[in-house]
Homo-oligomer: A and B are copies of this chain.
Amino acid sequence: MMSTAAAKDMVKVARSICDKTGNRLTETRQHVLEVLYELNTPVSAYELTEHYNLLIDSPIKTMSVYRILDFLESIRLVHRLRSINKYIVCNHSIGACHHTTPFFLVCRSCHCIKDLEIATEFITAFSQQVDEAGFVSAGSQMELSSLCNICQQNLESNSPGDIHD
């Protein structure tokens, strides 16, 4: 596994988080994180398994990938995009997480995403409504199921299934 400097920094952050929270950043977990980081796009657990097995010499099965992704999500190192069943590295693994409710724009056609930065006033106003509705705002995550401009244009020009890069 070739690691960029950025990836090494990310692993450092991950290690310190694990240390603080009394968790183990095992080799396998670190590898999963690195692979996910290098992919730099949302992938399913199965896709991640494939890439892992191409990049890392000790092979892994999807069951383990699920478990490790669950773990990494639980300590907030990765996000699970529930609307498309895919995973990405959390910004805060690379020192950029705002630690408020994340807001993902998700293209339901090509599955590209954008992590939107929302004004704090916005979030707090929301939180109140959420709490009033009998739900928990803390630790929640928003996803807007939408279309990116490219897919929108493709649909208009009647070429469905036309996946851009």
Residues of chain A from 111 to 156 with CB closer than 8 A to chain B in the complex:
114, 116, 118, 122, 125, 129-130, 133-137, 139-149, 152
Contact B116 A133 (CB under 8 A): yes
Contact A114 B136 (CB under 8 A): no
A141 to B144, CA, bound (A): 6
* Chain A residues close to B by CB (< 8 Å): 82-84, 101, 105, 107-108, 114, 116, 118, 122, 125, 129-130, 133-137, 139-149, 152
Q: Given A122-B125, A135-B144, list of 20 further CB < 8 A pairs?
A: A82-B145, A83-B83, A83-B143, A101-B144, A105-B130, A105-B133, A114-B133, A114-B134, A116-B129, A116-B130, A130-B144, A134-B149, A135-B146, A135-B149, A136-B146, A137-B146, A139-B146, A140-B145, A140-B147, A141-B144
